[in-house]
Amino acid sequence: MIYLATFNWGWLLASALLGLAMGWIALVHRGQGWSTVTMRKFIVLVAGLVAASVLQLAPSRAGYWLDLGLAMFAVYVAGCAVGSWLRHLVLARPVPASEG
């Protein structure tokens, strides 16, 4: 993992910045989310890819790309979370006190 971070820091940084931007604008767009079935399928897919990476089922170059893709995905998701959190902190409107 240190090798990936050392030699692909530019790609990881780009993933983080893209995730930060998408997290920032995600609250503006109020689209319909994924269904429960689709979300479960996606979670199973990601878990399978992580298991394949941990068990080193993909040989040489394919394994390298799998590891890099999973690292970029994790950094992207973390960037999305940070972007959403920052937007909430910066643009949160105070709740007016009830008159009574």
3 state SS of 9: helix
Tokens 């920032």 belong to residue: 24
Nearest to 4 by CA among 42, 47, 53, 49: 53
pLDDT truncated to tens, each residue of the chain (100 aa)? 677 778 889 999 999 999 999 998 876 666 677 788 999 999 999 999 999 999 988 888 998 899 999 999 999 999 999 998 898 888 877 767 666 5
Chain length of the chain:
100
**Cα 68–chain centre separation:** 14
Token pair in block for residue 42: 């996606």
CA–CA separation, 87 and 25 (whole Å)? 8
